[in-house]
Chains A and B, each alone.
Chain A
Amino acid sequence: GEDVEQSLFLSVREGDSSVINCTYTDSSSTYLYWYKQEPGAGLQLLTYIFSNMDMKQDQRLTVLLNKKDKHLSLRIADTQTGDSAIYFCAESIKDYKLSFGAGTTVTVRA
């Protein structure tokens, strides 16, 4: 079955790096995703990584994938107050459907 797990909360100081971790169970997942949800808003696709890659970088975002351990992480460099949000990890399951983790609430403090 599909099961995605994330830590629920992360507090980080402005300017520091944030690292959000995720584990998944479906070894057949071809893509893994990070979405951002700000209060009262929908989900914004931040980035995604193909399962045969181990790293993807996009400006301040770095995704690391350890397929052997089924571990995914999102690093946000130079974290800003606008990065405060809930971050969801998701894995692709059958037929392009997504299975989501519970979300990590990131709070950026001055």
Chain B
Amino acid sequence: SAVISQKPSRDICQRGTSLTIQCQVDSQVTMMFWYRQQPGQSLTLIATANQGSEATYESGFVIDKFPISRPNLTFSTLTVSNLSPEDSSIYLCSAGSGTNYNEQFFGPGTRLTVL
């Protein structure tokens, strides 16, 4: 299995600022994803973080609002830009196991509150 950590675990930010979330995997993985979980709701996929190329965004999510970096096979960042209260959510990264992409593990999440 893959062990995934995220930083920060939670943050409170002001409207108009940005927050960058880090995701670290304990082994090299090909697939990394970013999800959003709005309060009391399920998870929605934001984007696939591709190593060495631009992230692939899902419908409704754009690079200007959610820039993603993936500099290597163990690390990715998600930035949530120009924050508004509607961005208050839990943001989770996930990774497929290095040997079995179908085993997908999640980080503990970053709880963002925007005032």
A and B together in one complex: yes
A contact set with B: CB distance below 8 Å? 30-31, 33, 35, 41-45, 48, 50, 88, 92, 95-103
In the complex, how many residue pairs between chain A and chain B have their CB atoms under 8 Å apart?
Answer: 49
User: In the complex, are the beta carbons of B45 and A45 less than 8 A apart?
Assistant: no
Sorted from nearest, which 5 A-B pairs have the closest CB atoms? A42-B108, A43-B106, A100-B43, A100-B42, A42-B109
Flag the segment in B14-22, B61-69, B77-85, B95-103 that touches A.
Answer: B95-103
CB < 8 Å: which of B33, B41, B102 contacts A31?
B102
- Residues of B participating in the A interface, judged by any CB pair closer than 8 Å: 1, 31, 33, 41-45, 48, 92, 94, 96, 101-109
Give the CA-CA distance A31 to B103 in the complex, in Å. 9
A contacts with B: majority SS: strand
Given contacts A42-B106, A96-B96, could you give 9 more A-B pairs where the C-beta distance is less than 8 Å?
A41-B109, A44-B106, A45-B1, A48-B102, A97-B33, A98-B33, A98-B94, A101-B42, A102-B42
